[in-house]
A and B are shown apart, each in its own frame.
Chain A
Amino acid sequence: MKLVLERFAHNALALLAVTTILFFMFRLMPGTPLAAYISENLNADQQQQILEQFGLDKPMWRQYLIYLGNLAHGELGLSFFQRRPVLAILLEVLPNSLILTLTSLTIAYIFGVLAGAWLAWRRGSWVEGVAIPVVLATRAAPEFWIGMVLLAILSFKFGWFPSGGASSPGMVYAGEWQRMFSLDYLHHLALPVFTLALYLQGLPLLLMRSNMLEVMHEEFVTMARMKGLSEWRIVIRHAARNAMLPVVTAFALGIGLSMGGNVVIETVFSWPGIGRLLVQAVANLDYPLAQGAFLMIAAVLAVMNFVADLLYMTLDPRVTHGRRG
């Protein structure tokens, strides 16, 4: 329990540090701090309102405290362009990003773990000689480029998938859930998910493979052989179970990391997620929206880091159960 609190504190502090960095980054941007918050197309009243809300007339440290206070209340300001609360905009697109990320990661990790274990088993064969460079190439390729190639072939050449967006024009749904489980949505989701999964599978695959190779040489695996346990049981219950530990952690970390990385995938496929929102906000110099989107991504990253810590603790008894003997 102490360990859980410790990890929580660690991640919370890291997030606080990120928000602090962000605060000063936006304040220290070229131009006056006001410029970062006030655009010319706001009238005097609105300007005054923002000045007060963010305490921009007060000294820096007061501003910082007000900023933190606003954050704690989920108050992220108004988007310059959409003239709507930033938080509302973010919450609108967040599910799209989460669905994209989670689906791709799940597919990538299931494939990666199985293929990695299989490649460990086929060590030294010609399969390995072909597979490893191919996997390395998928890790090396920019995500958006994989997306472009797949779009060009699967969408523009064969017309199997839509070329972008999350729904076909003119589609109307009774509610969010109906929309997300509609065939149209899934059809739009398929290609981005495939691209992201293709990019992401390399890490779990290589990790699983090298862990398996290492674990198969551990004494407890030899012992399992000496006990006469079946090969299947040795590989799955003992070797794979141990080799999985870092992979599971990498999965949780991957959610946070790929939320950030999705920026490009979402842009290629015009997927209405938080990454694309960030890009548009930065391009439009919509500071409150950009800051909010960035914070949201950083928050997901911090939460997932914490989840990864927790997962590691539950899966590896050496971490949770201290030495007693």
Chain B
Amino acid sequence: MSVPAILEVDNLQIHYRTREGVARAVDGASFSVPEGKIVGLVGESGCGKTTAVRAIMGVLAENGSRAGGRVVFQGKPIDAGNTRPLLWREIAYVPQSAMSSLDPVYTVGEQIVEVLTKRGGAARSAARARSAELFDLVGLSERRLADYPHQFSGGMRQRAAIAMALALEPSLLLADEPVTALDVIVQRQILDTLRELQQRLRLSMVMVTHDISVVAYLCDEIVVMYAGQVVESGPVREVLARPRHPYTMGLRNAFPDLVSDAMELVPIDGSPPDLRETLTGCRFAPRCPFVETACLSHALAPVTTGGHLSACRRDGEADALRAAALRPSTWLRP
């Protein structure tokens, strides 16, 4: 990997204080984002993807805190104390639901102008011209700048959110399920727009999604998270063609588009563990069809082979497991 990393996350720990104890939402996750690449961060909901991304921006819920680990952006370690100057100017965000992320009482134009003037230091007139330009960039008519968020359709609203994210020409875009709420056709259009802009503007991007087909369509690298940890990562083509962690194999089976049509979709039985409990061994073990007794007590530190990282005790048997994983019967619980 000769491309330098714009963002490195190393052993990140995020804790939430809850009434029932501390939830370790992110528990030692490490990954990096090479410059100019799109990294897909995948996993089921509750795996800590969103928390990880918000932690990078230093914006956590009141009861959340960074309990450890390092985040390095463009070679400088960042934390809640020194992130603010970077926000939106260097690191911008595209939310899952632009509807709730836009202030309902101001027009979309006003909100873009706010960012341009308050954060970008632009004069109001320049900001207005720039927001028209931004709308044009994402394929919206500049007349819609005068509209309120609720007057947009779902797809247009996501485009407006992308325009807003690009306002200050950031170098890193964090997109949190930006197309999840949309129907498939609009999803594809927005993804195409994102990819085009990413290439044109030489953006680096983190794409958070639970949909592995979105990763396959858009991303260069993939990071698979499970229960607050990274279980597998590497180049998209390599990881999806030859997954080495059973969780990734399972995720791949659960989504269409990727494997042959003949293959039926098989969901992974069960749900991710309660992160408030003390977990030992491999966190996926209780749901893993290839589980062995030792998996329950010992987790394996990730092993990297040619840029492809995996954290499975049975990594050596990956080829055999992969073949077994393709059989739906493997995933059916007795």
Contacts and interface: CB of A to CB of B under 8 A. Distances in A.
Q: Do chains A and B touch in the complex (CB under 8 A)?
A: yes
Interface of A: 218-220, 222-230, 233, 237-238, 241-242, 245, 315-318, 321-325
A321 B107 CA distance: 11
B3 to A, nearest CB: 26
Contacts of A318: 104, 148, 150
B95 interface: yes
Given A228-B88, A317-B150, 14 more contacts: A220-B101, A220-B102, A220-B103, A222-B101, A225-B59, A227-B87, A228-B84, A228-B86, A241-B103, A241-B105, A242-B103, A316-B104, A317-B104, A324-B151
Nearest to A223: B101
A325 B153 contact: yes
Contacts of A233: 118
A219 B97 contact: yes
B105 A317 contact: yes
Contact of B115 (A218, A227, A322): A227
B148 A317 contact: yes
A220 B115 CA distance: 13
A226 B85 CA distance: 11
Given A220-B103, A223-B101, A318-B104, A229 B150 contact: no
13 contacts: A223-B101, A226-B88, A226-B92, A227-B88, A227-B115, A229-B115, A229-B119, A233-B118, A241-B103, A242-B104, A317-B148, A324-B147, A324-B151
Contact of A228 (B85, B95, B107, B147): B85
Contacts of B105: 241-242, 245, 315-317
Interface in B61-114: 84-89, 92-93, 95, 97, 100-105, 107, 114
Interface in B252-268: none
B156 interface: yes
B231 interface: no
Interface residues of B, number: 32
A222 B60 CA distance: 9
Contacts of A315: 105
Nearest to B84: A228
- Interface core residue of A219, A227, A323 (most chain B CB under 10 Å): A227
A122 B119 CA distance: 28
B112 to A, nearest CB: 10
Contact of B93 (A223, A237, A241, A325): A223
B14 to A, nearest CB: 15
Contacts of A241: 103, 105
Contact of B151 (A219, A230, A238, A323): A323
Contacts of B85: 228
Contacts of B118: 229-230, 233
Contacts of B84: 228
A324 B92 CA distance: 28
Given A219-B95, A229-B118, A325 B100 contact: no
Interface of B: 54, 57, 59, 84-89, 92-93, 95, 97, 100-105, 107, 114-115, 118-119, 147-148, 150-153, 156-157
A237 B89 CA distance: 21
Given A218-B100, A226-B87, A242-B104, A325 B148 contact: no
- Interface core residue of B101, B147, B157 (most chain A CB under 10 Å): B101
Contact of A220 (B92, B100, B150): B100
Contact of B101 (A219, A228, A317, A323): A219
Contacts of B57: 226
A324 B153 CA distance: 8
A228 B153 CA distance: 27
A322 to B, nearest CB: 8
Nearest to B147: A324
A23 B150 CA distance: 45
A167 to B, nearest CB: 45
A205 B252 CA distance: 53
A315 B106 CA distance: 10
Contacts of B87: 226-228
A325 B151 contact: yes
A228 B93 contact: no
B66 to A, nearest CB: 15
A223 B95 contact: yes
B141 to A, nearest CB: 12
B151 A321 contact: yes
A251 B12 CA distance: 49
Contact of B104 (A220, A223, A228, A322): A220
Nearest to B155: A325
Given A219-B97, A219-B101, A242-B104, A228 B151 contact: no
B170 to A, nearest CB: 11
Given A226-B57, A228-B119, A233-B118, A321 B148 contact: yes
Given A220-B100, A229-B114, A315-B105, A321 B147 contact: yes
A318 B102 CA distance: 13
Nearest to A325: B153
Nearest to A322: B151
Nearest to A238: B103
Contacts of B147: 321, 324-325
Nearest to B153: A325
Contacts of A223: 93, 95, 101-102
B50 to A, nearest CB: 11
A226 B93 CA distance: 7
Contact of A219 (B92, B100, B150): B100
A224 B100 CA distance: 12
A224 B97 CA distance: 14
A106 B59 CA distance: 37
